[in-house]
Structure 1
Amino acid sequence: MENLVATLTNTQFLIAVLAAVAAAAVVFSIGATFFSGGSQMRQRIKRVALEREKMRAEEMARLRGSAGGADQPRSIRQAAGRDYMKNVVERFSLEKAFMDENTAEKLSRAGYRGQAAMTTYLFLRFATPVVLFVLTFTYFSFAIFSDKPLWLNAVYALGIGLLGAYLPNLLLKNQTVKRQQSIKRSWPDALDLVLLCVEAGMSVEHALKRVAKEIGAQSIALSEELTLTTAELAFLEDRTRAYENLGRRTGLDNVKSVMQALIQAERHGTSVGSALRVMAEEGREARMMEAEKKAASLPPKLTVPLIVFFLPVLFIVILSPAMIRVFSNSFINGGG
């Protein structure tokens, strides 16, 4: 037992284990990128299709006068939620503790929809601090701070556990930012394609459906949102709700402005093509201004690396021959 503890607390052994875990993580990440990259698009489209089927079922139930009834079919995403997570959430009333009116909207902006995603999020908010506390306390007690009192290790572990309570929110925010950046980069091109389709005689629904297929190679997130909007336009009673939902799900100002223009065109009967043309021009101008802003901010950002890394090397290259000659002459004169 003493040999096992000594081995586990050996610094070289811990370094070797961490290096092995890091190497395995790198290999797994690279392999997952190669093997699952091609199926990511199909998985996203499959999830959107499930949401569309759920919306179709809800609309048919509403038309029959039994919307929200007990016989309403459950979606596959809801059925895929793990039972033990659901039991923990219900037993400890985690919805009252961690859920508010904006939680579902935050999850949808990150691309997570359905009750299964909500259950997983609430479970992680509850389980992450507990797991981090147990792991940290065990590691501190037997490895790093084995000579310290247990209550001190418990205090350290409690602090790390409290920090871990914010880890699910941090990961959710990171995923939201990545998704919004993907949509923001592809939105001007998608808007131009929608304008071309509408001017060619297509309706807004068919234009969005066609653009969702074409833009998928550039942004899977935007393709998913446009496909879901197409389904909402087909099944929702009020078409303006579909536009508002797209702006709310993305959380981007440029998308919301285009949706407001489409809503005004729907309400007042104005030309959709004219509204899209104006918004497309504004989108191109905004993207050009953003590119010019990034180009203008490049020289100040390069000042510090230039001073720290480039100028010292330049001085060394310029002054080295002169210094070598001076030292050589001094050595010759001193020797003479």
Structure 2
Amino acid sequence: MNPAALLPNPDLIIAFSAAISVCGAILVVSWPYFARDQLSARMVQMANERERIRARERARLNAKAKTPSLRSEPKKLFKDIVERFDLAKRVEDGDLAQKLRMAGYRGQSPVVTFLAVRAIAPIAMFLFAILYVFIVLRLQHPLFVKLGIAVAAAWLGYFAPQLYISNKIKKRQEAIRRSWPDALDLLLICVECGMSVESALRKVSDEIGAQCVELSEELSLTTAELSYLQDRRKAYENLAERTGLDGVKGVVTSLIQSEKYGTPLAHSLRVLAQENRDMRMNEAEKKAAALPPKLTVPMILFFLPVLFAVIITPAAIRIANL
């Protein structure tokens, strides 16, 4: 039997291959018309989810309307003082309002209260110093010395509110700086799990509240701003302005770039979390290195005299008994 007779017809193979190729080409060209538009459905789903988040955040804000809020109306006395001294222009000062926001005081009421207290404090301190120096102590000093003490008290009363706000800002920034690396780790875990930025920030604000109330408050406010502000970039920039920390500004820049260009956020958060953790460790090492010079004077004043007394006293007693 001829082996060539067992082979299939070459023309049949070529025709069958051509038919398969034509069918495949037709299927490839027509596939987009038969497949579902996943992108449009995904975009509609994301838009609906965003609207649900906004509605939920607005409902939470409305539910808390009866509780003490972050913003309150200024007292009538303070408003009258501000109007009396013509300080209405300072109320609209953006730098002053920004300072008070960094200290944790938001709204128009803290600005009015600060200006009123700054106007009252010098007068009150001056009168108190006059009463204390002339009536209570009855100092036997020249008149200009007594008036100088009263003027110094008035000067201190003028700058005392500003010093209080500056101290409040430093303490608040220090608390946020200590807890910021831990918050970034939690945010990284939430983002890598597939959570959205709003959900991740809300979760982090809930978890970090036991460690740092200030940071929890700022993240909760940022979550609320993301739910109702049209420009999401403004919400991130507000977070950086309220804290005034370089570490927070770096994270805000990464969030803005991720929103605008679609860059991966997880890698940036991991790098920034490590950098902030290193910065926190460096600050701790600086404080530890500064302890020996600070302890030198207390040791000379308090420790060495006691040590000398313990060493010399037994010898002095023996010499006295001879």
Specify the code of the residue in structure 2 equivalent to 1:264: Q
Match of 2:94, SS state, is: coil
2:114 corresponds to: 121
Specify the code of the residue in structure 2 equivalent to 1:320: T
Which structure 2 segments of 5+ residues have no match?
A: 1-56, 63-67
| Identity in percent | 51
**2:246 is aligned with 1:253:** yes
Alignment counterpart, residue 306 of structure 1, candidates 294, 299, 303? 299
Alpha-carbon RMSD across the aligned residues, in angstroms, is 2.9
Alignment partners' CA distance in 2, 1:318 and 1:181:
44
* Runs of 4+ with deviation above 4 angstroms: 75-79, 146-155
CA contact (8 A) 1:186 1:219 kept: yes
Query: How far off its partner does 1:300 sit?
Result: 3.0
Note the 1:1-336 alignment, pairs <5 A. 53=61, 80-96=73-89, 100-145=93-138, 153-328=146-321, 331=322
Greater CA drift, 319-328 or 101-110: 319-328
2:28 corresponds to: none
Alignment partners' CA distance in 2, 1:94 and 1:313:
58
Alignment partners' CA distance in 2, 1:175 and 1:157:
27
CA contact (8 A) 1:129 1:165 kept: yes
Which structure 1 segments of 5+ residues have no match?
A: 1-48, 55-74, 332-336
Greater CA drift, 314-323 or 214-223: 314-323
CA contact (8 A) 1:89 1:119 kept: yes
Query: How far off its partner does 1:78 sit?
Result: 6.0
Specify the code of the residue in structure 2 equivalent to 1:138: L
Greater CA drift, 295-304 or 176-185: 295-304
1:66 corresponds to: none
Q: Which has the larger radius of gyration?
A: 2
Specify the code of the residue in structure 2 equivalent to 1:280: A
Query: How far off its partner does 1:214 sit?
Result: 1.0
TM-score normalised by L of structure 1: 0.69
Alignment partners' CA distance in 2, 1:326 and 1:134:
62
Query: How far off its partner does 1:136 sit?
Result: 2.0
C-alpha distance after superposition, 1:153-199 (max 9, x if no partner): 55542332122111110111111112111111111111111111111
Alignment partners' CA distance in 2, 1:205 and 1:114:
24
C-alpha distance after superposition, 1:261-308 (max 9, x if no partner): 222222221111111111111122222222222233333333333333
Match of 2:315, SS state, is: helix
1:37 corresponds to: none
Match of 1:217, SS state, is: coil
Tell me how many residue pairs correspond in the alignment: 261
Specify the code of the residue in structure 1 equivalent to 2:257: Q
1:105–1:141 distance in 2 versus 1, CA, 3 Å: same
Query: How far off its partner does 1:208 sit?
Result: 0.6
1:306–1:117 distance in 2 versus 1, CA, 3 Å: same
